[in-house]
Amino acid sequence: NHLDRYDFFSDYVAAKHRLFVNQTADDVAILNADDEITASWAKGLKANVVLFSVKMELEEGLFLRGRDLICRANGKERILATRDEIFLRGLHNVENVLAAFAAGLACGASPDSMRETVKNFQGVEHRIEFVAKMGGVNFYNDSKATSVAATLKAVEALSEEDGKIVLILGGRGKNAPYQPLENLIRKKVRRLVLIGEDAENISRELGKAAEIVRAVTMGEAVEKSFQAAKRGDSILLAPACASFDMFESYEERGKIFKRKVLQLLDIHKTQD
């Protein structure tokens, strides 16, 4: 993300690293042990480092073991929550929950109260937000997916379901390649519906990964997505782009998507 603001990814990484370097011994640095870059920051920081992982057990830190989210500290373990208690979709949201637990524990919050919060948290608007089900097809709004990495996580999350995905991509690009999406699109995406300024670039990079159709408006994108979907599929708005070519914000883009989905639902109810 933000490669429209930085000349190189290394510059972006350096800016984030600086936040941790400037911490003091009174601070806590919560780092993802599964990310090669952030894991490398653990040594040499003044702050107290807390690691989390969904891929491996840690000698000290928070990690996923099977379906359990574990905290291991001073040789003792505690189950913080289970994946079945997390409403949010995707392994990336397990990472988010582990990081949130780490922050809460560092601030002295009660593990039991945090677990109850996890159980009751239904997610945030525009982030893999379930909108409606129509004709056996689920609609999801992830308008906040304004980068390729965010879109990749959204597609991975819905890949846990049996059906295929019809993916709405496009908007104002951020000078980042779309190629990282290619393998997952080949495996899981039935059709790409492209909107916005960067549609041509997306088509050029991903045109061999899935069938592509173009749409001028969000309403047209919703209609063409539903036409392409089969029962059991999911339609996902996860644009991998900023919204400013067509909308005032990602929030407006997501709200218009939801409105068009509900309008389509009303039409089909009337026809039924």
- Residue 3 sits at φ, ψ, to 5 deg, of -75, -5
Give the mean pLDDT of 88-98.
94
> Is pLDDT at 176 greater than 80 in this prediction?
yes
What pTM value is reported for the model? Answer: 0.83
pLDDT digits (tens, 9 = 90+) for 208-242: 999 999 999 999 999 999 999 999 999 999 999 99
210: CB partners within 8 A, 6+ apart: 167, 185, 186, 189, 190, 191, 192
Q: Specify the DSSP element, H or E, that contains 72.
A: strand 68-73
Question: Which DSSP symbol is given to 242?
Answer: B
Give the mean pLDDT of 85-92.
93
CB 115 within 8 Å of CB 80: yes
- Distance, in Å, from the CA atom of 139 to the CA atom of 162, rounded to the nearest integer, reads 15
- pLDDT of the residue at 1: 64
State the chain's mean pLDDT as an integer.
96
pLDDT digits (tens, 9 = 90+) for 234-272: 999 999 999 999 999 999 999 999 999 999 999 887 665
Task: Take residue 268 and report the two structure tokens written for it.
Answer: 């089909």
Classify the C-alpha dihedral 219-182-99-37 as positive or negative: negative
Give the mean pLDDT of 47-65.
98
In angstroms, how far is CA 173 from the centroid of its own chain? 17
In angstroms, how far is CA 125 from the centroid of its own chain? 12
Q: Which amino acid is at 24?
A: T
Domains along the sequence of the chain with CATH: 9-120 (3.40.1190.10), 129-271 (3.90.190.20)
